[in-house]
Amino acid sequence: MYSPKVAQTEALALASREFVDSILEDRLPLTNGYDGLKIVKILEAAEKSIKERGSSATILCGITIEENAVVGAGSVVTKNVKANSVVAGNPAKEIKKNSSL
């Protein structure tokens, strides 16, 4: 799982540019920043996912990995992963509950 590249037309890039421009021009920003903040939260979640989940794991499209779940390296995730679960294998199966959190 990798963080997506943010295009200059995305809400994050547009909101960031507008915010910086408003500071440089000594005016109030035209945006409330919520669209950009949503993108930041998605990118932060993706970064956390890369750190916590297994390297080179394959997660099939449409699969949900809930909060505090851990995916073992090289696993193939074919079903949703419940919160606080540790899964591994091909296909990935729950091997224990994540009690360290």
* 36 and 64 inside one domain: no
- In this model, does residue 79 exceed pLDDT 90? yes
Which residue carries 């009690």 as its tokens?
99
Type of residue numbered 27: R
| Residue 57 and residue 80 in one domain | yes
Structure tokens at 94: 């729950």
Q: Is the domain of 63 the same as that of 36?
A: no
Residues 31 and 58 in one domain: no
Where does the pLDDT of residue 3 fall: very low under 50, low under 70, confident under 90, or very high at 90 and above? very low
Rounded to 10°, the helix 34-52/11-24 angle is 120
Higher pLDDT, 1 or 75: 75
Q: Indicate the number of domains in the chain.
A: 2
Together in a domain, 2 and 40? yes
Structural domain boundaries enclosing 80: 53-101
Same domain, 46 and 61: no
Please tell me whether residues 10 and 31 are part of one structural domain.
yes
